[in-house]
Structure formats: C-alpha cells, structure tokens
Amino acid sequence: RKAREVLYFLLSHPGGSTVDAVRTALWPERDDASSRQLLHTAVRFLRSALPADVVTLLERRSYQIERASVQLHYDVDQFLTRSEQSVRDPALLAEAVDLYRGMFLPWCDSEWSQRVRSELEQRFVQTTHRAGQSFEHRKQHHDALRMYERALALDPTDEVATAGVMRCHLALGNRAAAISSYKRVTQHLS
C-alpha cells in the first residue's frame, strides 16, 4: 500500500521530489533511518512491479517517474490538462468533468493526499461551473443541467450549481423541478 502511495506521490510531483520530501510526506512520524528504509523498500517494490527505469533516483537526491520511458495514462493529469486548456469550449470542459473519477486516493489519509484531494475537488467544481455556464450561454440547458448536477453530487450546498440547476429547469419549462431544487438546498443548509 505504501508503494502505491509513493507512486501517486511521485505522479503528483512531475518534476520529481527529494528523498527527504517523500519521506516526510509519507512517514512523518518516523525517524530518518526508519523512513529511509521504508522508502527504499517501497521503491524496490515499485521497481519490481513496473517496467525498468520508470522510477529513477537522480543524483541520489530525488525520485522521479520517467514518463517518457513508459506509456502512462494518468486520469489526474488528463483532467488537469483538459480543464486548463478548455476554457471556453463547453464540450471539452464536459470531457474534463467526465475524467474526474471522484475522491483522490480515498484509502489514504496522509496530509499530502488530503491536500491534493482538496485541490482536485476545487478544480472539479470550478470546471463544472464553467461548463454549465458555457452550456447555458449556448442555450444547451440539458447539458448545463448535467454539469451542475455533477457539482451538487459532490456538494449539495453548492449555491452556484443550485442556481444553475434552477435556471436550467426553468428554461426547460420545468418549474416544479426548479422549486424542488430550491427546497432540497434549503434543507441541506438548515
């Protein structure tokens, strides 16, 4: 399990990370010697499980995933790239939203993974809002509604998404659904 965490930590640091930073992030409660041994064991396991030269040690100071040495499809990278590049195109923003698979490393409770999890969730919500607003602007209310509902699935109290859902239902002629959305959010807020 820790070997997997090392892998995801290094994937979250594309430029690599110092040995000390990896040790501190994954074994903050351990002393230097113990955490060095645990890291060494985890990296040895990764190297046996992955193709050769994927996990490299640069100048005995930092570990890095050599992305060029292996064909790597990492949904987090794809989500981040797509959400950054697709500022105005709602279809591409929707593709970015669909790349989000939920909570980052739900089995991991370390501080670094919680920080990444929070950043990804924030990016997801921002992307759903942008996609919804862009679809609304183009009068594609069904698509906008889907985006806003994805945000509400993560946070039922999201006011931007709730307002978007209500606007879309009204635009689609479904006043009862708009009122229901309003009542649902007020219940969550009370």
Residue 185 has pLDDT above 90, yes or no: no
In this prediction, residue 187 carries a pLDDT of 84
DSSP string, 70-115: S----HHHHHHHHHHH-SS-HHHHHHHHHH--SSSSTT---HHHHH
Residue pair 128/147 in contact by the 8 Å Cβ criterion = yes
Q: What is the pTM (predicted TM-score) of this model?
A: 0.86
Amino acid at 6: V
Comparing CA positions, the residue from 154, 184, 182, 186 lying closest to residue 167 is 182
Dump pLDDT digits (tens) for 10-54.
999 989 999 999 999 999 999 999 999 999 999 999 999 998 789
Give the whole-angstrom CA distance, residue 101 versus residue 111: 20
In angstroms, the CA 147 to CA 130 distance is 9
Instruction: Give me the mean pLDDT over the 103-109 stretch.
Output: 94
Q: What is the pLDDT of residue 33?
A: 95
> What is d(CA 116, CA 74) in angstroms, rounded to the nearest whole number?
15
Q: What value does the CA radius of gyration of the chain take, rounded to a whole number of Å?
A: 21
DSSP secondary structure letter of residue 174:
-
What tokens appear for 92 in the block? Answer: 């591409």
